[in-house]
Structure 1
Amino acid sequence: MVAPGCALRPAGKKKMDYRMLALVAVVAAMTATMGASASVPCMYVFGDSLVDNGNNNNMLSLARANYRPYGIDFREGPPGRFTNGRTMVDFLSDMLGLRPPLLPPYATAAPADLPRGVNFASGASGIRPETGNNLGGHYPLSEQVDHFRSAVRDMSSTPRFRGNATRLAAYLGRCIFFVGMGSNDYLNNYFMTDYYTTAQQYDPQAYASLLLADYAAQLAELYALGARKFVVAGVGNIGCIPYELARMDDDDQPSDPSTPSDDGDNGIVISIGGGGGGDSNSNQKPTTQQQGCNDTINSAIGIYNKGLQSMVRRLNNGSAQQKMRGARLVFLDTVHTGKDLAAHGFTVLDRGCCGVGRNNGQITCLPLQRPCDDRDQYVFWDAFHPTEAANRIYAAKAFNSTSTADAYPINVSQLAAI
């Protein structure tokens, strides 16, 4: 099925000026770090489809994005990103002076790539090992950490680090470790009640505590392998993504809370429950105002994010009970950062650039489907994932925001300089 173009006219001089300011901020951040790469020799990425760059390409899985129009604006390597162009961590690697080239996926990385950095992220993955199993193959966080363990072992056998574990540990201690997990633990676990039983076993507070305990254990594993500088991304308001908006009825209530979400991370959704069918050639008018979101989901996410920031605070304090002395962690509040995207010139906040049905969110971007033309006006690329333009803003805020509401307690550039 081929969707018609979704091009919008320019939003006006004021909004375009905001967009120009955002671009200037990104360029300034990149320029400021051109000579600082020696302090950050590498970056390692762990997460889900928001930052996956191809690790799932050859898996038997619905959570893949190795087909057009995914990557339609990405011409720097093979397909596999769940967006039209670069991801947030692609932009961060620019700002840290780690390219060219971009960090490779672990699935295709050569031994020579390992010391500069590798992306271990996997679409559909979560903190919980069972999360995302409804979509087929993927690597949960624990397996991503195991892959890093293998990478460390491989690096320790190279001439540069052979026989000198102290040198390798000191090297890794200067690197950035980006970890962004949790979205699928809600979309493809807790709120998929026909497939998983976690919602019957735990209330939102207990489930968040369970996730955070598992999360802390995996961060401790990375710490034991040499990680010291962590960037930990919170979960966005996934109750407001096009997929969830498409499931709301006319009274802004979930059309069927028990209907399973086919994906928070996949490239192809076979069927979506609730809200009825339809194609993207509808008369729905994109707006700058988001319709009512799923407050039940956002409330649970709020509990998790608050706990995650508290965990970061405790680990940074390095109390006698903690085993991660000397680690420095930055918490990225993606909910707060996403609140002012309209001020950066985006005119479509509630609809995917590529997809089918209500909000282009009932069925996500199909192979060879025509996406909207004016992609830099859209926050969402498909039913679940941001556009390259939105990823650019998220990265710029993470890297150089002076507000602790975006990056706590310091930003990524300050972490890199430590």
Structure 2
Amino acid sequence: MYRKARSALLLVLAVAMAAAPALVAPAPQQLVPCMYIFGDSLVDNGNNNNILSLARANYRPYGIDFAGGPPGRFTNGLTVVDMLADMLGFHPPLIPAYAMAQPSDFARGLNFASGAAGIRAETGNNLGRHYPLSEQVEHFRAAVRQMGASASSPERLGRCIFYVGMGSNDYLNNYFMPNYYTTAQSYDPAAYAANLLQEYSRNLADLYALGARKFAIAGVGEIGCIPYELARINNQQNDSNSGTGVSISVAGIALTIGGSSGGGDGRTPANASRSSGGGVCNDDINSAIAIYNKGLLSMVKRFNRGGGRMPGATFVFLDTVRTGRALVENAAAHGFTVLDRGCCGVGRNNGEITCLPMQRPCDDRSKYVFWDAFHPTEAANRIYAARAFNSTSTADAYPINISQLAAI
């Protein structure tokens, strides 16, 4: 009896020990001490929730696949930076929005991104209040002042990842809205890109002065092929007066979503092409974006050579255009079947207005590249994040990927 009981006990212990690693598996090592995020609605996670702005996503169906409900992310679930933070070992919880963070969060990481924000201060004013890049940098400066001396030391901040993704709204909600902004009258595309990059450079230098050394700089995607642009081009082919945007009144303030492009005359751009998803892309916008991205890559190369007078800093350029094209070319392998239409929204391609409150989205989000008129689904974000973090191709991340940046 004793031998049987002893054997049974040993068997139970063996099973328990075998199961223990699965129950208490160690979390992946955190690769850097902190992460700070600057950008627009592609990576905003709630900073716009409590300000007077149309650029908000704190209502369903936004966040429908996010545990706990809609937190303010402009997608159905996680964003690119959520996934990058997870890959870097920041889990749980995710990097919090600055507007909702506690002082105890500051040393670990903060997200300063703001929907509708741009590099230029006036960008996005057509959508109401927001925090442009310069204001996001000032928010970081304030956070550094509130951190303890050890948490804000140059040595510690120099090992953190600083993700910055700006520029989309400087085109969508500025340059290509000639009925609202005058930049297209003042600059040709090359001069406008140069102006943006000059201001961008100043803000990056300010972050460097505050201790940043490891920068991941995201380029602007081919926004001429997003559902919003596909919808507008389709409408313009049928109605020459449809290029003035959608006007909405919020608390007595008149705001406009979108506007004319390609000269502002409401016609289909002469320079238009078929997208991989079957729609017609606005190549006037894509050509302007190409000039900006080329300049941004050149800026990264110059900074890495020491041309920006930021010794010890490393800059990585994330080529979202090439990654996006690769995603579309291999869409079937990733499970995508809908490439040119939002999972929710209003009008052609679900692209004329973003998701309405309590609107029912598509049932299978994993098959859609786009969540709404402007933003990718969580499924698409996962591919962008994986390539930025792991890719060995400089077509995705130049000169190194984010995992290599973290290891420096």
The answer to whether TM tops 0.5 is: yes
Q: Secondary structure at the match of 2:280?
A: coil
Superposed CA deviations along residues 237-267 of structure 1, whole A, max 9, x for unmatched, are 000000000011389799569524779xxxx
1:346 CA displacement: 1.1
Aligned in 2, Cα 1:328/1:400: closer, same or farther, shift over 3 Å?
Answer: same
1:106–1:118 Cα contact (<8 Å) kept: yes
2:296 is aligned to: 308
Question: Partners of 1:259 and 1:32 in 2: how far apart?
Answer: 55
Please identify the structure whose Cα radius of gyration is greater.
2
Q: Which residue identity is paired with 1:395?
A: A
Q: Kindly provide the CA deviation profile for residues 221-250 of structure 1, in whole angstroms up to 9, marking residues without a partner as x.
A: 000000000000000000000000001138
Tell me the equivalent position of 2:132: 140
Distance 1:348 1:300, change over 3 A: same
- Tell whether the 8 Å contact from 1:145 to 1:218 is kept in structure 2 after alignment: yes
Who is 1:396 aligned against? 386
Moved more, 207-216 or 358-367: 358-367
Q: C-alpha offsets along residues 254-289 of structure 1, whole Å, 9 cap, x if unaligned?
A: 9569524779xxxxx977678xxxxxxxxxxxx973
**Distance in 1 separating the partners of 2:125 and 2:92:** 35
> Is 1:335 aligned with 2:321?
yes
Partner Cα separation in structure 2 for residue 257 and residue 314 of structure 1: 42
Shift of 1:341: 1.8
Instruction: Give the whole-Å Cα distance in 2 for the aligned partners of 1:208 and 1:82.
Output: 26
Q: How do 1:236-255 and structure 2 match up within 5 A?
A: 236-249=221-234
Give the CA deviation at 1:329: 0.5
Query: Which amino acid in the other structure matches residue 321 of structure 2?
Result: V
- Normalised TM-score (structure 1): 0.82
Looking at structure 1, the residues matched to 352 and 59 of structure 2 have their Cα atoms a distance apart, in angstroms, of 19
Determine which of 187, 201, 218 is the counterpart of 1:202: 187
1:42/1:77 CA distance change after superposition, 3 Å: farther
| Deviation for aligned residue 1:323 | 1.9
Structure 1 position 34, deviation (Å): 1.8
- 1:5-404 aligned at under 5 Å gives the runs 34-35=28-29, 37=30, 39-75=31-67, 79-156=71-148, 160-161=150-151, 168-249=153-234, 259-260=244-245, 289-319=277-307, 322-342=308-328, 343=330, 344-404=334-394
Deviation at 1:156, TM superposition (A): 3.5
Distance (Å, rounded) in 1 between the aligned partners of 2:50 and 2:235:
40
Match of 1:11 in 2: none
* Matched-pair contact (CA < 8 Å) for 1:195–1:260: no
Could you say what the CA RMSD is over the residues aligned between the two structures, in angstroms?
A: 2.4
SS in 2 for 1:49: coil
The number of residue pairs the alignment matches comes to 360
Would the aligned equivalents of 2:36 and 2:162 in 1 still touch at CA under 8 Å?
A: yes
**RCO higher in structure (CA 8 A, sep ≥6):** 1
CA distance in 2, matches of 1:102, 1:390: 19
The answer to whether the 8 A contact 1:231-1:330 is kept is: yes
Question: Where in structure 2 are there 5+ consecutive unaligned residues?
Answer: 1-24, 249-254, 261-274
Moved over 3 A (4+): 249-258, 260-263, 269-274
Q: Percent identity?
A: 71
Letter in 2 for 1:204: P
Distance 1:68 1:193 in 2: 32
SS at match of 2:82: helix
1:77 shift after superposition = 6.7
Q: Give structure 1 stretches of 5+ with no counterpart.
A: 1-30, 264-268, 275-286
Would the alpha carbon gap of residues 300 and 311 (structure 1) be closer, same or farther in structure 2, given more than 3 Å must change? same
Q: Deviations over 1:267-318 (max 9, x none)?
A: xx977678xxxxxxxxxxxx97331200000000000000000000000011
| Structure 2 match to 1:27 | none
